[in-house]
Structure formats: C-alpha cells, structure tokens
Structure 1
Amino acid sequence: MHVLFVCNGNVCRSVIAERVTRAVAVEYGLTGLTAESAGTRALVGFPVEPLAAQTIAGLGADPDGFRARKLKPEMIDRADLVLTMTEQIRDQIAEMGFGVGARTFTLLEAHRIAKVTGAGAIATLHAARNDLSLVGRENISDPIGLSEAAYCEVGDRIAEALVPLLVALAPGEHTRPGQDQPGLVVGPDAPAAPLASFLAAQRIR
C-alpha cells in the first residue's frame, strides 16, 4: 500500500506523517507499506522545518534527507491512499481525477471511520463515508510559527491517528519483531497500538 500525505508547504505535517509511516513499516515488518508526501503550495527543495524535524526524531522516526515537493497528478495516480491534513486539501485533490475521491480522506476522517467500522480496506472506508459523515472540522492545524510544544502536539495527534490506521489497512503480517500475535485492528474498543505507545513514550516534550 502506497500512501501519499498532503499539506500546504510540505515541511511540517505531511513530512511528519510520511516519516512516521516509514517507521511503522519497519516496526511492523510491513514491506508493502510505502509513503511519500507533497504540498499544494510546497516550499520546493526546502528541508524539514527544524521543529518538525525535532518532532519526527522525538517520535522515533528519521527526518533526514528530505526535500519538499509540490503535489503533482502522477503522485496521486500512484497512491493507493491519499491522506490530507485538511478538508480543503482533500476536496481539492478529489477533483483532480476520476475515482480519486474514493481513496482520498483527511487523516482524522479516515481514522474515525476505521475506528467506528473496524474497516480493514480502503474501499470499506469509502463505502462508509456518507453514512458516517461528520458535521464539523477534521483538520490538523499548521504549526508553522508556533512553539515547540505546539509541534509536539501536532506530532502526537498525527501519530495517534495514523499508527492504528496504517496497521489496520496495510498488507502483510501485522506483527512486531519477536511477537506472534496479530497487530492492531482498528475498532471501537481497540487497544493502543504498540508503536503508538512507543512513539508517545519517545516524544519530545
């Protein structure tokens, strides 16, 4: 499963999500799980914003070697799942091609639907979308210009929504090294994902 994360500048939120996804893939041995990120108004060529890089490292992921990229149609075409940081970006992307809307969600929207339905497939998320529409905003705010604590809060919010969603949807064996039990299936009473606990314990305060 290839996941595309999209925000505005592609130096904070979407990068955090991309690098956490890569850490999840390693932690759970999900060799079929890959990720990239882009921005609708990307600061092309810029590295990760320093406080975002610090947040990524604090979450147990690797911020190095990144350069911001502008969102392009071919990125959307190759993505199995597109997760945006805001509803506005989601709606913008959904109009960029036939069938794109069926695999494009805000991160918080996808997490909420999966939690309620126990969905294990992207198609199931989409099928339940209309029945589980929410009146209100499911956006993750841009922390640019804010404090270190604000970046930590955004990082935690992304990780808490993203980790269980990925483990539920990603192909492959949902097991951690040295463990035989299956990993998290997102559901109403699902326990916290092991990696989510790890990330929370490691985060920068």
Structure 2
Amino acid sequence: MPPFSILHVCMGNICRSPMAERLLVVAARDLVGDKADELLLVHSTGTGRWHVGDRMDPSAARQVRARGGDPDTFRARQLAAEHIEASDLILTATGEQYEFVLGLDPAAADRTFVLGQFGRLLPRVDLSALPAAAPTPDSVYARGVALVSAAAAVRGGQEPLVGDDLDDPWGRGHAYFGRVADEIEETVRPLAAALLGV
C-alpha cells in the first residue's frame, strides 16, 4: 500500500503550496523523525504554468528554512489530473483553486478542502474513532483515509468560507510571508498529529 498522499495546491506553486508542503514535512518529522518519509507523501502543484521548474520564492524559502525545512530541492509543477488521482487528501490555498481541482476531477470532492477550511473542521473530528495509529505505512494510510472521510462528513454540504483562504504573499515583505506561514502551520501541525496519532 502506498504512503498516504497529501497534495497542496496554489496558483504558481512557488509560495503558498510549497510552504505548506515543506512545513507539513517538518511537522511530521518533529513527531516521528525520518520515519515520516515512509509514512507520508507530501507534494504540491500550481494551477498555472508560469513558474514550472522554478525554485521556491526566496521569501517562502526563508520561512521554510527558518522553521526547520528544506526548500533547496523544490521545483514548481503545474497541476494535472494525475496528481489529483494519486492524492488521498488535497488542500488548496483558496476557494478558487478548490473549484479548479474539482473542475479537473469532480470525483475528488470528498477529499478536497481549502487549507483553512480543513483546519476549522479538524477539531470537530472524533480522532478516537479513527483506526489506531501505528508507525507503519498501512496503518497511517488507513487512518488518513478515515480522517478525510470524517472531515468530509463534518463538512457536509458547507462551502468554503472566504476567511478560509490563504492570502497570496507573492511580492510582499518578509513579515507578510511569516504571517502566511504561521497560518499554514496552524493547520498542518494538527494534521500531522492527527495522521500519525501522536
């Protein structure tokens, strides 16, 4: 069984989604060390093709590095249907990108959320009802699939709220990027703990 796969999506894949990708990896490694790389597959893409092949925005990279992550191996990619199909949880930066994902693959609706929306829903999920956590790919996969299903059930038919969106920090200052990185961590750290049962 493959590792549980989380896809982060933003517009250009050089600011928000790569920060979310690498900060989720940091959160998971903080909990289980390098074992996290066997348990989770965390990746990101952008809806546009402007930056394909580019490195992370320098200000985004600075935030990732300051928080213990590695931005150096990152290269931007454009979202394609196969990325969605291969992902167990899809987290978009905004409601617009949420709609873009569903436009490519309507069947992904139950596993696609705006990042801030998922952060709001997560505290309402009964984690004790999920499959028991164990540091194996099979256990984390089963727990992750159940977590996504539970979050979708809690959401019901509720649409994302405007306040769920992550502001685009591109072209802004260091403090602006820091605030966006803080907002990302407010969701990815509880997500890592929920997935890994730590």
- Aligned mates of 2:119, 2:87 — CA distance in 1: 18
Equivalent pair of 2:27/2:188 in contact (CA under 8 Å): no
Letter of the 1:15 partner, please give it: P
- Aligned mates of 1:140, 1:147 — CA distance in 2: 16
Q: Which residue of 2 aligns with 1:151?
A: 177
- Bigger drift between 86-95 and 22-31 goes to 22-31
**Equivalent in 9, 18, 24 of residue 21 of structure 2:** 18
Give how far 1:94 is off.
1.7
Letter of the 2:61 partner, please give it: A
- Aligned mates of 1:44, 1:131 — CA distance in 2: 34
Q: Which residue of 2 aligns with 1:38?
A: 45
Letter of the 2:28 partner, please give it: A
Q: Which residue of 2 aligns with 1:160?
A: 186
SS of equivalent residue, structure 1 residue 5: strand
Equivalent pairs, count: 172
For structure 1, list consecutive stretches of 5 or more residues without a partner in the other structure.
Answer: 175-182, 184-205
After superposition, residues 112-123 of structure 1 pair within 5 angstroms as: 112-119=120-127, 121-123=147-149
Give how far 1:139 is off.
0.1
Q: Taking structure 1 as reference, are residues 131 and 45 closer, same or farther at Cα in structure 2, changes over 3 Å only?
A: closer
Letter of the 1:33 partner, please give it: L
Give how far 1:33 is off.
1.2
Give how far 1:46 is off.
0.8
Deviations, residues 55-103 of structure 1 (Å, cap 9, x unaligned): 0011111111111100011111110000000011112212322420110
- Aligned mates of 1:81, 1:16 — CA distance in 2: 17
Deviations, residues 123-177 of structure 1 (Å, cap 9, x unaligned): 0111111266565431001101111000111111101111102221x2x5x4xxx
Letter of the 2:151 partner, please give it: L
Q: Which residue of 2 aligns with 1:51?
A: 59
Give how far 1:20 is off.
1.1
Letter of the 2:71 partner, please give it: P
SS of equivalent residue, structure 1 residue 28: helix
Q: TM-score, normalised by structure 1?
A: 0.78
Equivalent pair of 2:119/2:186 in contact (CA under 8 Å): no
Q: Which runs of 4+ in 1 moved over 6 A?
A: none
- Aligned mates of 2:29, 2:155 — CA distance in 1: 30
Deviations, residues 32-73 of structure 1 (Å, cap 9, x unaligned): 111010000141011011011000011111111111100011
- Structure with the bigger percentage of helix: 2
Q: Taking structure 1 as reference, are residues 139 and 98 closer, same or farther at Cα in structure 2, changes over 3 Å only?
A: closer
- Aligned mates of 1:116, 1:131 — CA distance in 2: 15
- Aligned mates of 1:41, 1:98 — CA distance in 2: 19
For structure 2, list consecutive stretches of 5 or more residues without a partner in the other structure.
Answer: 131-146
C-alpha RMSD of the superposition = 1.7
